[in-house]
Amino acid sequence: MTQVLDKPLELRAPVSPAERTARRKAVLEWIAIHSLGVAAALFFTLPFVFVLLTSLMSDTQALSRDLIPHTWEWGNYKKVFDTPGFLTWWKNTLIYAGLGTVLTVVSSIPVAYALAKFRFRGRNLSLMLVISMMMLPPQVVIIPMYLFWAKQLDLSGTLWPLIIPMAFGDAFSIFLLRQFLMTIPNEYLDAAKVDGCGDLRALLKVVLPMARPGIAAVALFQFFYAWNDYFGPQIYASENPGAWTLSYGLESFKGAHHTDWNLTMAATVLVMAPVILVFFFAQKAFVEGVTLTGVKG
Partner 1 sequence: MSTITLASKRRRAALRTVAFMSPWLIGFAVFFAYPLISTVYFSFMHYDGFRPPTWSGTKNWTYVFKDYPFFWPALRNTLWLVLVMVSLRVVFGLGVGLLITKIKTGTGVFRTLFYLPYLAPPVAATMAFAFLLNPGTGPVNSILDRIGIPAPGWFNDPAWSKPALTLLALWGVGDLMVIFMAALLDVPQEQYEAAELDGASAWQRFRYVTLPNISPIILFAVVTGVIQTMQYYTQPLIAGKVASGVIQGAGTQFEPGYPEKSTLTLPQLVYNLGFQRFDYGSACVVALVLFALSMAFTAFLMRRRGGLNLAGD
Query: Looking at 5, 9, 18, 135, which residue binds partner 1 (CB under 8 A)?
Result: 135
Is the Cβ of residue 12 or residue 66 nearer to partner 1 in the bound state?
66
Under the binding rule (CB under 8 A), the answer on residue 36 touching partner 1 is: yes
Quickly list DSSP for 170-211: -HHHHHHHHHHHHTS-HHHHHHHHHTT--HHHHIIIIIHHHT
Per rule CB under 8 A, count of chain residues that contact partner 1: 95
Is the Cβ of residue 5 or residue 9 nearer to partner 1 in the bound state?
5
Quickly list DSSP for 18-61: HHHHHHHHHHHHHHHHHHHHHHHHHHHHHHHHHHHHHHTS-HHH
The DSSP symbol for 259 reads T
CB neighbours of residue 123 within 10 Å: 13
Q: Which among 292, 139, 297 is positioned nearest to 221, based on CA atoms?
A: 292
Is the Cβ of residue 191 or residue 259 nearer to partner 1 in the bound state?
259
Under the binding rule (CB under 8 A), the answer on residue 58 touching partner 1 is: no
Q: Where are the beta strands (DSSP E) in the chain?
A: none
CA–CA separation, 96 vs 92, rounded Å?
6
Under the binding rule (CB under 8 A), the answer on residue 295 touching partner 1 is: yes
Is the Cβ of residue 9 or residue 151 nearer to partner 1 in the bound state?
151
Judged by DSSP in three states, 66 sits in coil
Angle at the Cα of 38 from the Cα atoms of 33 and 42, rounded to 5 degrees: 145
Under the binding rule (CB under 8 A), the answer on residue 145 touching partner 1 is: yes
Query: Looking at 235, 237, 263, 266, which residue binds partner 1 (CB under 8 A)?
Result: 235
Judged by DSSP in three states, 80 sits in helix
* Only segment of 2-10, 72-80, 130-138, 188-196 that touches partner 1 (CB under 8 A): 130-138
CA–CA separation, 251 vs 187, rounded Å?
52
Site residues for partner 1, window 190-219 (CB under 8 A)?
199
**8 Å CB contact between 168 and 106:** no
The DSSP symbol for 242 reads G
Site residues for partner 1, window 166-195 (CB under 8 A)?
167-169, 174, 179, 182
Is the Cβ of residue 15 or residue 147 nearer to partner 1 in the bound state?
147
Is the Cβ of residue 96 or residue 227 nearer to partner 1 in the bound state?
227
Under the binding rule (CB under 8 A), the answer on residue 136 touching partner 1 is: yes
Site residues for partner 1, window 274-293 (CB under 8 A)?
275-276, 279, 283, 287, 290-291
Site residues for partner 1, window 59-118 (CB under 8 A)?
62-65, 67, 107-108, 110-111, 113-115, 118
Query: Looking at 146, 158, 160, 282, which residue binds partner 1 (CB under 8 A)?
Result: 146
Instruction: Please report how close the Cβ of residue 8 comes to partner 1 at its closest, in angstroms.
Output: 26
Site residues for partner 1, window 251-270 (CB under 8 A)?
251-252, 254-256, 258, 261, 264-265, 268
